[in-house]
Amino acid sequence: MATIHVDGRDYEVQPTDNLLHACLSHGLDIPYFCWHPALGSVGACRQCAVKEFRGEDDRAGRIVMSCMTPAADGTRLSIAEAEAVAFRKSIIEWLMTNHPHDCPVCEEGGECHLQDMTLMTGHSYRRYRFTKRTYRNQYLGPFVGHEMNRCIACYRCVRFYRDYAGGRDLDVYAAHNHVYFGRHEDGVLESEFSGNLVEVCPTGVFTDRTLANVYTRKWDLKGAPSVCVHCGLGCNTIPNARYGEVRRILNRYNGEVNRYFLCDRGRFGYGFVNGPKRIRRPLLAQDDGAAEPVAPTVALGRWASLLRDGRAIGIGSPRASLEANFALRALVGPERFHAGVADAEGRLLETVVAILRDGPAPAASLRQAEDSDAVLVLGEDAPNTAPRLALTLRQAVRRAAFALAEQQKIPHWQDAAVRDAGRDVRSPLVIATPDATRLDDIAMATLRGAPDDIARLGFAIAHAIDPAAPAVEGLTESAREQAERFAALLQAAARPLVVSGYGSGGEAVIRAAANVAQALRRTGRDARIVLTVPECNSLGLALMGGAPLSAAHAALRDGRARTLIVLENDLYRRADRASVDAMLGAAEHVVVLDHTLNETAYHADIVIPAGTFVEADGTFISNEGRAQRFFQLIVAEDGVKESWRWLNEAARAAGKSNARWDTLDDLITALGEQLPALAAIRDAAPAADFRIAGNRIRSAPHRYSGRTAIHADLTVHEPKPPQNPDAPYTNSMEGYYGRMPPALYPFFWAPSWNSVQALNKFQDEVGGALHGGDPGVRVIEPRPGADSDYAQEIPRPFARRDGEWLVVPQYRVFGSEELSALAAAVAERVTGPSLGLNPEDAAMLAVVDGDAVALELGGASHVLSAQIRPALPRGVAALSIGLPGLPAVALPAWARILPAPPELRT
């Protein structure tokens, strides 16, 4: 530690930090623009100027930029000194020479860092009397709006987009006071991290277009801590709502998980919540097949009558909370509860759980992954399957540059200098996938192969690290050398990381990844593993357990079950049409609880309107094994209720004695008792009776308007806002706001800090953990002393077949995930289904890019657009999966591919 003297007071700081970081961490206010805790310092905006003195006798001092000055022991500085104050004020005055005075009509107004900094510096009178420069704005796609006149040229956007996120299509053009930040021409921003520009931009240049369409001021938006539902990483979010509608998603900082950034699927995928296909009232199928809305009591009565014969089974869901799944499990009985994922996926998830539990390599949080100094990716196309992880890996490869910078005595926060010095050094990243990925540009080596060959590479690497790991038979000399080379890279690292998961399409690949991590661990490396899972609660459901989907079908077919209860799950996404049709046909009655109409719901006798993640509270367990609570943002006043509450009420109506939960906390207690391995989820967040000084926490900012009058167009009786019994919030702007347990922040705000930058006030140290520790509890760790045996089953090498292709899954960041694809903004980014083919294979089939091809798979023929993928190995085809309109198929699988009949060619 070092001591710095700021305006006559002493502060303990890290000498490796810069003065701005150190002062902000101590709660001191220094205005800034270009500096960002995740992007470092570049000294462009000159806003964070302070006066530095050479010693006690130095009265004159000199102006320095606090972001560019190390917090060296003994540094004496003044924030309040007159020249520094005047200089900082003049910076705003300069920025304002061109910044429009459009705050009243600017989307950023009220949460604008530039507004905050303007007030902080005291600039209030405009002396500049000349014209302002104006720009033409660009269309940047459905996510991000562009208003360049507001630009203060802090360069954060390009530094995030290009340097941090690896994007290529946003840049700075022109020079002097006419610098322009945009694309070379109008067009959709390509990066799947473009939405972060909205939060990175300190003013209203880049704004959220999904919010702009239904614009609401920040202070009129309610918030709740939430967890992203669009992949398995568990990024923390804050959805904002007004008038019972979600209006946007903000990043919610979690130092161990997503930190400052989200992917666009997570940020803009919320639209399904407000979607036209939402189920708002219970529906009962009539004799003619039509569904009629009915009163909840009617639906519950009918449902209870189905339950009384005791022959109901349940299918849970990896996109429903642990609590909802547990309530279903309790309703039908553990042995009649099914996990609701395809059998193959269920086995894959069991494998993931076994690897994480039996060790020895622990799961890496995203922060730990970012800190890794060598990464092996086996099979996973992270930019499409778990985008935020890809952004993390992009930072992990910078460890070598930081190490080099340290040698050259360049502080880690000197962003431009570190990047200059380390421009051609990267920590090893080896990517072995069937097809090219959007991380290939930073990879030290990329390998393309069928899943079995990727698995063999993994096994060979593990063997090269630890000869006790099984050897791979029949490896070519060059493949063995390659494996040894990669093994050496991982062994040379202090904190190696192995990444694999559901995108790899095979258990063998995941087991190979586990062998590598295990071999590294056994040879003394602090290795960690990241195994992705497809959905927000895939791992939670796997930990809860449940019979496979085929067992549900068997029970219905054999007559052991008559009623099927489906929880938040479109079975048509889980298995092929014929088998789902057969399963639903075998059930005498089908009850569907879901929030959005889907194909499964059309087959239901009873449809129950479930709450989405914003209308319910609950817990998800991320791929890391982190249990995280999400809280209700919208207290639905129509028929929508939490799934667990519906299930509880159905149990009551049916006279079942084992479901008597008045609140979520009651349920969580019962869950912990019955499933001790999950008991820790109780600690994911404080219980509903949590109070601070006797108060609940307010869910809206203190300036929130219209608490009682908001529905005055419907009733003038100014009702009390409905209150959530399951969480310690007021559902209004009344109540406590201040320091609180970190899992509870419904928004971040501090006096003088109205923008997202207020976050600084809630961290132990800027960029560090939230006060009180980062939210979430890890419920799965390697058992003490765990050291399972190496996986021994090594697949045989991939062999091409005549006339057949091995079809592997191709995930798409936009389209493959069910719920986000329902959001209008994301839907705009979804392109049609396609089949990727190696160019030679395509030539053999006499098809060119865009031609229609017929894929004969699982007894059905699907017509798809051919996509020539030069990186794909011969004999392997990549099928875009999960896209709307494309049936579910189990992959990898062998299939025939034919040029589509001429009438289908366009």
List interacting residues with another protein (CB under 8 A).
42-47, 49, 62-64, 68, 86-87, 90-91, 94-95, 97-98, 127-130, 152-153, 155, 172, 174-179, 408-410, 414, 416-417, 420-424
- CA separation for the pair 477, 469 (Å, rounded): 19
> Minimum distance between the CB of residue 120 and another protein, rounded to whole angstroms?
16
> Minimum distance between the CB of residue 402 and another protein, rounded to whole angstroms?
14
> Minimum distance between the CB of residue 409 and another protein, rounded to whole angstroms?
7
> Minimum distance between the CB of residue 880 and another protein, rounded to whole angstroms?
37
Nearer to another protein, 44 or 556 (CB): 44
Nearer to another protein, 154 or 306 (CB): 154
Nearer to another protein, 97 or 861 (CB): 97
Contact between 829 and 820 under an 8 Å Cβ cutoff? The reply is no
Nearer to another protein, 90 or 579 (CB): 90
Nearer to another protein, 62 or 280 (CB): 62
> Minimum distance between the CB of residue 22 and another protein, rounded to whole angstroms?
18
Which pair of tokens denotes residue 427? 């920590």
Nearer to another protein, 89 or 577 (CB): 89
> Minimum distance between the CB of residue 758 and another protein, rounded to whole angstroms?
23
Nearer to another protein, 83 or 588 (CB): 83
> Minimum distance between the CB of residue 58 and another protein, rounded to whole angstroms?
15
Nearer to another protein, 40 or 428 (CB): 40
Q: Are β-strands 337-338 and 312-315 bridged in parallel, bridged antiparallel, or unpaired?
A: parallel
Nearer to another protein, 156 or 869 (CB): 156
CA within 13 Å, CB half, 52: 20
Nearer to another protein, 131 or 715 (CB): 131
Task: Provide the CA 820 distance to its chain's centre, in angstroms.
Answer: 12
Nearer to another protein, 415 or 774 (CB): 415
Amino acid at 157: C
What are the CA-CA distances from residue 382 to residues 26, 55, 387, 393, 426 (Å)? 37, 52, 6, 9, 19
Alpha-carbon Rg of the chain, whole angstroms? 28
Element (H, E) at 544: helix 538-544
> Minimum distance between the CB of residue 101 and another protein, rounded to whole angstroms?
16
Nearer to another protein, 115 or 500 (CB): 115
- CA separation for the pair 451, 469 (Å, rounded): 20
- CA separation for the pair 111, 134 (Å, rounded): 23
> Minimum distance between the CB of residue 154 and another protein, rounded to whole angstroms?
9
Nearer to another protein, 15 or 333 (CB): 15
Element (H, E) at 283: strand 283-285
Q: Are β-strands 76-78 and 2-6 bridged in parallel, bridged antiparallel, or unpaired?
A: parallel
- CA separation for the pair 687, 619 (Å, rounded): 12
- CA separation for the pair 822, 543 (Å, rounded): 28
Furthest-apart CA atoms within the chain: distance in Å = 93
> Minimum distance between the CB of residue 132 and another protein, rounded to whole angstroms?
11
Helix ranges, 107-223 (H) = 113-121, 156-158, 196-200, 209-212
> Minimum distance between the CB of residue 30 and another protein, rounded to whole angstroms?
15
> Minimum distance between the CB of residue 397 and another protein, rounded to whole angstroms?
16
Q: Which of 369, 478, 387, 466 is nearest to 427 (CA)?
A: 369
- CA separation for the pair 815, 884 (Å, rounded): 7
> Minimum distance between the CB of residue 127 and another protein, rounded to whole angstroms?
6
Spatial CB neighbours of 552, under 8 Å, sequence gap ≥ 6: 313, 315, 338, 561, 564, 583
Contact between 549 and 342 under an 8 Å Cβ cutoff? The reply is yes
- CA separation for the pair 647, 624 (Å, rounded): 28
297 φ, ψ (degrees, to nearest 5): -65, -35
Nearer to another protein, 160 or 762 (CB): 160
> Minimum distance between the CB of residue 129 and another protein, rounded to whole angstroms?
8
What are the CA-CA distances from residue 43 to residues 38, 760, 839 (Å)? 15, 19, 48
Strands (E), 100-217: 144-146, 171-173, 180-182, 206-208
- CA separation for the pair 631, 610 (Å, rounded): 15
> Minimum distance between the CB of residue 833 and another protein, rounded to whole angstroms?
40
> Minimum distance between the CB of residue 53 and another protein, rounded to whole angstroms?
14
Nearer to another protein, 424 or 477 (CB): 424
Nearer to another protein, 33 or 272 (CB): 33
What are the CA-CA distances from residue 165 to residues 186, 263, 780 (Å)? 20, 10, 30
210 φ, ψ (degrees, to nearest 5): -70, -30
Sequential DSSP letters for 598-655? -HHHHT-SEEEEB--TTT--EEEE-TTSEEEEE--S----SS-B-HHHHHHHHHHHTT
> Minimum distance between the CB of residue 436 and another protein, rounded to whole angstroms?
25
- CA separation for the pair 158, 168 (Å, rounded): 9
Q: In which residue are the tokens 């990925």 written?
A: 437
699 DSSP β-pair partners: none
> Minimum distance between the CB of residue 68 and another protein, rounded to whole angstroms?
7
Nearer to another protein, 413 or 798 (CB): 413
What are the CA-CA distances from residue 243 to residues 202, 229, 556, 587 (Å)? 27, 22, 43, 39
Sequential DSSP letters for 18-73? BHHHHHHHTT-----SS-BTTTBB---S-TTEEEEESSTT-SS-EEEEGGGSB--T
Nearer to another protein, 149 or 788 (CB): 149
